[in-house]
Chains A and B, each alone.
Chain A
Amino acid sequence: MVATTGHSPSALGLKPGRRRGYLVDRRATLLFSFPAAALLLVLIAYPLLDDVRLSLAHISPSTNESFVGVQNYEAVLSSSEFWNSVWITARYTLLSLVIELALGFGLALLMTRIVRGGGTLRTLILIPTMLTPSVAAINFRNLLNYDFGMVNWFVGLFGIAKQPWLADSGYALAALVLTDIWRSTPFFVLVLSAGLLALSPEVMDAAELDGARGWQKFVYMQVPMLMPLILVTVLFRVIDLFRTFDTVYALTNGGPGNSTAVTSMQIYNDMYVGQYTSYAATEAVVFMALTLVVSLFVLRLMRSQPD
Chain B
Amino acid sequence: MTRRTVRALQVVAGAAAAAMLIAACGSSSKPNAQQTTIGPITGTAASSVVPWAASGQAADTTVTVCFFSGPEFDTIQKHGTDFTALTGGKIKIKMVSIPIAQALPVTINQLKTSSECDLVDGASEHATDLNPYLLPLGSMMSDPALLNSSVYNLSDFPKGVLDVATSAKGLMSLPFSADVQMIFYRADLMSQWGITVPKPPESWTWQQFEAALQTMQAKIKESNLDMSPIAITGSRDASASMFSLTSMWAFGGNPFNGDQPNFTDKKAIEGLNHWSGLLNTLKLASPGSPTYAYNELLTALQQGKVPMIAEWNAAVTDLNDPTKSPITAGKLGFALLPYDESLPANTPRVFPTTHTLGISAKSAHPREAFEFAAWYTSPEVALQLASERSSGARTSALTDPATLAKNPALGTVAAAGALYHPLPNIPSFGDLLNNVIAPSVNSLFTGQKTPDQAAADMQSGAEALLKKAGK
Contact = CB atoms under 8 A, between A and B. Distances in A.
Given A255-B439, A276-B468, 13 more contacts: A62-B427, A130-B19, A147-B286, A168-B446, A169-B446, A169-B448, A190-B15, A199-B4, A254-B236, A259-B448, A269-B435, A272-B102, A273-B431
Q: How large is the interface on A (under 10, 10 to 19, 20 to 34, 35 or more residues)?
A: 35 or more
Nearest to B234: A167
A37 B173 CA distance: 50
Residue picked from A60, A119, A275, A276, most chain B C-beta under 10 Å: A275
A291 interface: no
B237 A253 contact: yes
Contact of B439 (A119, A162, A257): A257
Contacts of B18: 123, 126
Interface of A: 58, 60-63, 75, 118-119, 122-123, 126-127, 129-130, 141, 145-148, 162-164, 166-169, 190-191, 193-195, 197-201, 252-259, 261, 269-270, 272-276, 279
A254 B430 CA distance: 17
Nearest to A251: B291
Nearest to B290: A167
The 6 lowest CB-CB distance pairs between A and B, nearest first, are A146-B288, A257-B443, A63-B470, A255-B236, A274-B431, A256-B446
Contact of A194 (B8, B231, B471): B8
Contact of A190 (B5, B12, B231): B12
B108 A61 contact: yes
Given A60-B469, A167-B290, A198 B8 contact: yes
Given A62-B470, A130-B23, A198-B4, A147 B306 contact: yes
A197 B10 CA distance: 11
A255 B448 CA distance: 11
A167 B289 CA distance: 9
Nearest to B101: A272
Nearest to A190: B15
A255 B431 CA distance: 16
A193 B4 CA distance: 12
B257 interface: no
Interface of B: 2, 4-5, 7-9, 11-12, 14-15, 18-19, 22-23, 26, 101-102, 104-105, 108, 129, 228, 231, 235-237, 286-288, 290-291, 293, 296, 299-300, 303, 305-306, 427-428, 430-431, 434-435, 439-440, 442-443, 445-446, 448-449, 465, 468-471
A197 B11 contact: yes
Nearest to B20: A130
B470 A58 contact: yes
A168 B2 CA distance: 52
B469 to A, nearest CB: 5
Contacts of A256: 236, 290, 442-443, 445-446, 448
B236 A61 contact: no
B470 A274 contact: no
B428 A274 contact: yes
Given A148-B299, A148-B300, A201-B4, A193 B287 contact: no
Given A269-B435, A273-B430, A123 B19 contact: yes
Contacts of A167: 287-288, 290-291, 445-446
